[in-house]
Amino acid sequence: MKSILFVCLGNICRSPIAEGVARKLIEVCGHEITVDSAGTGNWHVGETPCDNSVRVAHNHGVDISSLRARQVKHKDFKTFDLIVALDQNNYNNLKALGCKNLVKLGDYGYEGEDIPDPYFFKGFEGFENVYAMIETCVENLLLNR
């Protein structure tokens, strides 16, 4: 596997965290894997990750502050070896767009459970919980590929 694209809804919370965690783990392991993230929706294109995502990542030694949201494109399905959806809705949307090289992140540590969208949580604790889920799953994904 040479490239991974993480996909959530708006590309400002979960998928940038997954991208950042993957980049850090890939660097530590010395792998040569290209990583990116995108959203199925287009309303946050060009924006930085949300403040709480930047903060939780920073608290764990991951810098995602320079990332910018983008919408997934059909060409991504050919460019990336693996497309990783953060929840079932995004998985279904990507499948409907014709994506074949698709998995769900929760299959790598949470028995297929969705990685919930912390954007709608009250408080910072939800971001900590989501970060922990993402970190576990990304680590397992990289170890099992």
Cβ(102)–Cβ(83) below 8 Å: yes
Contacts of residue 132, Cβ cutoff 8 Å, sequence gap at least 6? none
114 is catalytic: no
Distance CA 144, CA 126 (A): 27
Cβ(60)–Cβ(92) below 8 Å: no
Q: Which of 13, 14, 23, 99 is catalytic?
A: 14
99 is catalytic: no
Q: Which of 36, 70, 117, 137 is catalytic?
A: 117
Q: Which of 8, 13, 99, 137 is catalytic?
A: 8
Catalytic residues: 8, 14, 117
